[in-house]
Amino acid sequence: MFDPHKVKLPMLEGLTTEDFRRESPGTKCKLIEEINASVRKVHYEDFMQRNPGAYPNDVLMDWGKIVGIDKIVPADELVRRMADVAIIVPVSESSPDHGSSQENPK
């Protein structure tokens, strides 16, 4: 299984805890976003190499297992589930949105 803790990122070479603490909040956030994106990219490449026929949803599900998320519902599955419970309300012919069968007199 992929281990994100074993990924070596050049942006972290030589960075100490003290260096990180001295950075501004904005710089810290930017660095964390870059680290997350880099590790996710390495995970994606590793997963696809081990599973050549995999779909992006498979990669997402594997990432969820790694970070401890029990259930990730991909967007397409979420839309399908929402469609299964949708309530369809018929529009009557006399409703303002549908129009009326009578013409408006001028």
Please state the domain extents for the chain: 4-85
Predicted local confidence at residue 85, as pLDDT: 60
Query: Which H or E element spans position 50?
Result: helix 25-50
Return the structure tokens found at 24. Answer: 């501004």
Whether the predicted model's global pTM rises above the 0.85 cut: no
- The DSSP-derived string for 29-45 is HHHHHHHHHHHHHHHHH
CB 43 within 8 A of CB 2: yes
Predicted local confidence at residue 66, as pLDDT: 86
Q: What is the pLDDT of residues 50-73, one digit of tens each?
A: 999 999 888 888 888 888 886 766
79: pLDDT strictly greater than 90: no
